[in-house]
Amino acid sequence: MPEQLSTPADYPGKRLGLPNTGPRSVGRLGRRIGALAIDWAAAVLISVAFFSYDSWATLAIFAVVQVVFLLVINASPGHLVLGMRVVPINGGYLGVWRPFARTILLCLVIPAVIWDRDQRGLHDRLIGTVLVRR
């Protein structure tokens, strides 16, 4: 009898129709934190170089990079480095409003640290997106 591969009965993304692992699976916590660290570190470096490390300038740089990269390629630089992208739950184009709304909610911090069973932050849930592996 061939050995069957088992998958957990309930895993992040199952309710959304996403696979447990591999491409299009939900980006897990380690990758998400790593991507955020990469994006924030880049914003800090730019802020140090041009604004003497002003905290508001750092936040503004972070926000602008998020919006621009999400508009153009559906992923921030950190997402790209760690093999992820942001996609709408229903498929299709991310659009123009979602990158702006997602970034504002991300910069407020609290929506990004409240997750559901699918490991989607409140910021993604509110705008109908999910961070998946490429």
What percentage of the chain carries pLDDT values higher than 90?
90
Spatial distance between the Cα atoms of 81 and 17, rounded to a whole number of angstroms: 25
The pLDDT, as a whole number, for residue 76 is 98
For residue 2, name the pLDDT band (cuts at 50, 70, 90). Answer: low
The yes-or-no verdict on residue 4 having pLDDT over 80 is no
The pLDDT, as a whole number, for residue 7 is 61
Q: Which of 74, 73, 64 is nearest to 43 (CA)?
A: 64
Scanning the chain, the segments in alpha helix (DSSP H) are 29-51, 55-73, 77-81, 97-107, 110-113, 122-127
What pLDDT, in 10s, does the model give residues 70-79? 999 999 999 9
The pLDDT, as a whole number, for residue 9 is 72
Q: Is the pTM of this model over 0.95?
A: no
| Both structure tokens of 61 | 């740089």
User: Whats the size of the chain, residue-wise?
Assistant: 134
For residue 1, name the pLDDT band (cuts at 50, 70, 90). Answer: very low
What pLDDT, in 10s, does the model give residues 84-98? 999 999 988 999 999
Mutual angle of helices 55-73 and 97-107, in 10-degree steps: 150
Cα torsion 71, 74, 76, 81: sign? negative
Residue 2 dihedral angles phi and psi, to the nearest 5° = -70, 145
Task: Give the up-direction half-sphere exposure of residue 41: CA atoms within 13 A in the CB hemisphere.
Answer: 8
